[in-house]
Amino acid sequence: MPKAARDLPHGIVASSVTPFKPDGSIDFAKLKPHIDWLIEERVNGISPLGSSGEFFAMESDARKRLVEAAIEAIDGRVPSMVGTHHYSTAITVDLSKHAEKAGADSLLIVPPYYGLPTAQGVMDHYRRIADAVSIPIVMYHNSAGTNVDLGTEHMIKLFEEGALAGVKMSHLMPDRMVELLQAGLKRATIYAGIDYVAFEGLSHGAHGWISAIPSMTPRMAAEMYETLTIKGDLVTARKQWKRLAPLMRFVFQGSHISRNAPAPHWAAIMKTGLSLIGPDVGQPLLPSAPLDPENTAILADLLKSLGYRVRQPKAAKAKAA
C-alpha cells in the first residue's frame, strides 16, 4: 500500500514531553506515567520528540533511547508519530529507520533547519527519507522555527509522489492550511499545527490538531475538536475556544506575542502545567529556565478555570514554608 494511503490518526495528537533529571539525562521513570495520563485525557495519538519533546537539545543516541521507551509505554493503545528531525539528511534517515524498527506508526519531520536549504533541497530531503522507510511521513511545517517555508505547490507535489502522507501546518497565516485543505488532495492528512490557527483550521475541515493545548490539556482540546468536526456546532465551539484562548496566549507569549519582551519560555510553561494537573514531568533543559512563582500562579489559575484540579505549586509551598 502506498505510504500516502495509510491512515494517520485523526483528532487530538499530543506532543509528549521528555522528562529530564537535574543532570540533563532522561528520567525514564517519569515517561510512562506521563503517557498514561495523556491517553486517559482522550488523545487520538502521541508524538514523542516533537517540539515539546525538546529533540533540539538531544543527541541521536538519547533520542533513540527515548523513542524505544515511549513506544513501549504507548504499547499500541494509540498511534505513535515519532519526531526524527535533523538538518542532515543522512542523520534524519538513520533516526527514521530506527524509529520504524522500534515500532513507530508514522514519522513527524521538520524541514532541514538553520542551514536555509533550497526548496528543491528540502523536497529531496523528504524524498530520500521516504525511500528509506515504509511508514507514513508527516511534514512539520514550522517556518518560524526552521526558516524554511515550503510552498503549497511543493507540498502538493510531495503528496502526489507519495513522499508525504500528512502535514502539521504551524504557519501563523491560517490560509496556508486552508489552501492545502481546498487543494482536493485525496490522500493527505492535514493537522492544525499551532493553536493560533486551530479554530479556523478545524472549521475548514482539518483532520486533527497537534500543538500546545492538545499536549497540555488534551481533554479540553478533544471536546472542541468533537464539537467542530463531528457535531458541526460552531456556536458551542466558539464558547469552548473562548475558554481555551487565554491559556494559548499565555503559553506563546514569549515566542509569538512579544518575542523580544521578557516572558517565560513555552517549554517551561507546558512542563509546569503538566506537572500541576498530571504526573510530574520535571523541568525543561537549559537554556529554557524553570517557570517563576508569579507565572506559575497565573498558569494555575488558568488551568483551574478550565476545570482541572490543580496541585499547589512547589514554589508556592516553599514560599509558604
Say how far apart CA 16 and CA 5 lie, in whole Å.
Answer: 26
Find out whether 202 and 229 touch, Cβ atoms under 8 Å. Answer: yes
Whether 196 sits among the annotated catalytic residues: the reply is no
What are the grid coordinates assigned to 212, written together? Answer: 500546545
What is the model's pLDDT at position 300? Answer: 97
Greater model confidence, 313 or 80: 80
SS3 178: helix
Coil, strand or helix: which one is 141? strand
Consecutive H or E run containing 72:
helix 60-74
For 192, other C-beta atoms within 10 Å of its C-beta total 27
Report whether pLDDT(241) > 50.
yes
In a domain, residue 211? The reply is yes
Q: What integer pLDDT is reported at residue 257 of this predicted model?
A: 58
Please list the residues that pair with 276 across neighbouring strands: none
Identify the domain containing residue 133 by its residue range: 3-231
Mean pLDDT over each residue of the chain, to the nearest integer: 92
| Dist. CA 216–CA 15, nearest whole Å | 9
What pLDDT, on the 0 to 100 scale, is given for residue 146?
A: 86
Residue 17: inside a domain, yes or no?
yes
- For Cα atoms 111, 83, 158, give the angle at the middle one, nearest 5 degrees: 45
Query: Would you say residue 238 lies in a domain?
Result: no
pLDDT band at 10, cuts 50/70/90?
very high
List beta partners, residue 190.
Answer: 167
Alpha-carbon torsion, ordered 169, 11, 210, 300, to 10 deg: 140
Span 30-77, pLDDT tens digits: 999 999 999 999 999 999 999 999 999 999 999 999 999 999 999 999
Average pLDDT rounded to a whole number, residues 153-168: 96
Q: How confident is the model at residue 198 (pLDDT cuts 50, 70, 90)?
A: very high
Confidence (pLDDT) at 316 = 40
Task: Classify residue 255: in a domain, yes or no.
Answer: no
Q: Note whether residue 253 is domain-resident.
A: no
Instruction: Please say if 140 is a catalytic residue.
Output: yes
Range 196-217 average pLDDT: 96
Residue 148: its pLDDT value, please?
84
Residue 68 near residue 102, CB atoms below 8 Å? yes
| Catalytic residue (choose from 168, 191, 196, 271) | 168
Does the pLDDT at position 5 exceed 70?
A: no
Q: In degrees to the nearest 10, what's the CA dihedral of 183, 48, 18, 225?
A: 50
- Give pLDDT, residue 254: 76
In a domain, 270, yes or no: no
Q: Is residue 320, in this structure, part of any structural domain at all?
A: no
Decide if pLDDT at 263 tops 80. Answer: yes
pLDDT at 266: 94
Q: What pLDDT is attached to residue 258?
A: 54
Q: What is this structure's pTM?
A: 0.93
Residue carrying the nine cell digits 526552521: 146
Domain annotation covers residue 296: no
Residue 174 has pLDDT above 50, yes or no: yes
Query: Domain count of the chain?
Result: 1
Of the candidates 126, 140, 191, 196, the residue annotated as catalytic is 140
Asked if pLDDT for residue 187 goes beyond 90, the answer is no
Residue 101, domain CATH: 3.20.20.70
CB-based contact 19:30 (threshold 8 Å): yes
Highest mean pLDDT among 3-7, 270-274, 287-291: 270-274
